[in-house]
Amino acid sequence: MAYLDINDVKPDMKVVLDVCDAHGNVLLKQGALLTEAWIDRLKRRCITHIDVNSEVTISTAESEENGVKVQAEELQFVMKKIFTPVLAKPHMKALARSTYQYLKAKN
Amino acid sequence: MPSLSSDSTFKKAVSKIQDIPTLPTILTKLNGIMLDPKTTAEDMGNLIGSDPSVAAKILKVVNSSFYGFPSRITTISHAIVILGFNTVKSIVLSISVFSAFETKGDIQGLNLETFWEHSVSVGACTEIVAKHSSFSAPEEFFICGLLHDIGKIILLKNLKEEYLQILKRVADEEIPLRQAEQEVLGFTHAEVGAYLLEEWKLSKTFVAAIRHHHNPALAGDEVKISSVVHVGDVMARCLCLGNGGDPYVPPLVDAAWDALDMDEEMFPTLLDECYERAQKSRVFLNFI
């Protein structure tokens, strides 16, 4: 845990104590993950320092993106495996395409 | 077309099969009373109610999201009035199947839990395909999908050495399971499944649907229902719902395409509805 200058905090650091304005209103609750948008908002509310976990957690967005990427690659692999021998058969290319798009959207 | 049950290769192989599961007693009785046109929902309800375990399972299924009724159904008679004799019989058969066959562990490397997940999913997909093909009671066909691969379990249990050869050929030569079965045995799991359904005195339509689910062109008058099971199987394989032991999606055959008047534009809707129905059908997996 660290008490950091607002200019030194980074997205995806975890807020460890509620961030309050001068009137005691809670702006950001303990446990929240910082984002660029929240850092800007806190700056605009004249917050100068906050208590955060200084270790940058893996970005949710980034991990989701990576996850989706891995899932998409896995899905492509599985689709190739189960469809390749039959792709030349009537309608199977269209079915493979529709299935891939459906499962990709589902994931 | 001559029945494959009279084919000598098939007969010889079937004679080796010692372990043909018997039809659960309650279904034999159900078949009996359903032949009587005077049978009422109450008669059928009383018969099913005489087996509290079966009755409880039926109520669990009919009150699940699989049927999605707005209010709770508390008696079998009520379920029969709403769903009809054939659908309730299909549910009884579906839940009884799991006690007639092994459902846990592996047989010769085939994981039975994923096998049953595939079978239940094909049941669900078959219903959806039947609905799109304008069958008036598509839910009656769930059982055809559920049992479409049942011949594999019988073969795996009874012709172990031959089936090991088959699985090896599938892995080594990357050929479909049914092709390897045909080459090694001279027949496929589809014929064995049909043989079981004949032994169980199920309808000729269902027997034909199981027998020809890989090649509906041979189903004669039953081409449409065989095609429904065929496409249901293809949909479940595409969506990777469970594992029936075959590494590839079976190709859609022209006979099914024509019989069901299919169109490639149907695929996204069909896939979505099949997937959603299959998720709801998982209630049946509680009984394995």
Determine whether the interchain pair A101/B268 forms a contact, defined as Cβ–Cβ distance below 8 Å.
yes
Alpha-carbon gap, residue B9 to B70, rounded angstroms: 52
CB contact under 8 A, A83 and B250: no
Of B45, B144, B135, B33, give the one whose Cα is nearest residue B88: B45
Residues B140, B190 contacting (CB under 8 angstroms): no
Q: A78 and B257: CB-CB below 8 Å?
A: no
| Chain B residues within 8 angstroms (CB to CB) of chain A | 174, 176, 234, 237-240, 247-252, 254, 257, 262, 264, 267-268, 271-272, 275
Question: How many interface pairs between A and B have CB atoms less than 8 angstroms apart?
Answer: 57
Contacting residues of A for B268, CB less than 8 Å apart: 98, 101-102
Distance from the first to the final alpha carbon of chain A: 35
pLDDT for residue B182 is more than 90: yes
Handedness of CA B181, B101, B150, B249 (dihedral sign): negative
C-beta atoms surrounding B186 within 10 Å: 14
Name the residue among B234, B252, B267 with its Cβ closest to that of A90: B252
Position A58 scores a pLDDT of 46
In terms of Cα–Cα distance, which of B244, B250, B246 is closest to B214? B250
Per the model's pLDDT, the better-predicted residue between B232 and B68 turns out to be B232
The confidence score (pLDDT) of residue A65 equals 61
With 80 as the cut, is the pLDDT of residue B13 above it? no
Kindly identify which residue of chain B lies nearest to residue A79, measuring between CA atoms: B238
β-sheet bridge partners, residue A33: A14
pLDDT recorded at residue B104: 86
3-state helix, strand, coil in chain B (%, to 5): 70, 0, 30
Contact between B249 and B284 (Cβ < 8 Å) = no
| Closest CA of chain B from A83, distance in Å | 6
Among chain B residues, CA nearest to A85: B248
Q: Is the per-residue pLDDT at B1 higher than 70?
A: no
CB B213 within 8 A of CB B224: no
Confidence of residue B5 (pLDDT cuts 50, 70, 90): very low
- What digits encode the pLDDT tens for the residues B50-94? 988 889 999 999 999 999 998 999 999 999 999 998 899 889 989
Q: Where are the alpha helices (DSSP H) in chain A?
A: 36-44, 60-83, 92-106
The Cα–Cα gap between B208 and A26 comes to 69
Q: Please give the single-letter amino acid code of residue B188.
A: T
CATH topology of domain A2-53: Molybdopterin biosynthesis moea protein, domain 2 (3.90.105)
Q: Which residues are CB-contacts of B201 (< 8 A; sequence separation ≥ 6)?
A: B23, B31
Of the segments B99-113, B240-254, B264-278, which one has the largest average pLDDT value?
Answer: B264-278
Q: Compute how many other C-beta atoms are within 10 angstroms of the C-beta atom of residue B45.
A: 20
Q: How confident is the model at residue B3 (pLDDT cuts 50, 70, 90)?
A: very low
DSSP code, position B73:
-
Name A28's bridge partners: A19
Q: What is the mean pLDDT of chain B?
A: 90
Pick among A77, A78, A79, A82 to test the B interface (most B CBs inside 10 A): A82
H/E stretch holding A20: strand A19-20
Residues of chain A with CATH 3.90.105.10: 2-53
Distances (CA, A) of A75 to A71, A82, B235: 6, 11, 16
Q: How confident is the model at residue B219 (pLDDT cuts 50, 70, 90)?
A: very high
For the segment B91-142, what is each residue's pLDDT rounded down to a tens digit? 998 988 888 888 888 887 788 999 999 999 999 999 999 999 999 889 889 9
A52: pLDDT strictly greater than 50: yes
ipTM above 0.85, yes or no: yes
pLDDT tier at A56, thresholds 50, 70, 90: low
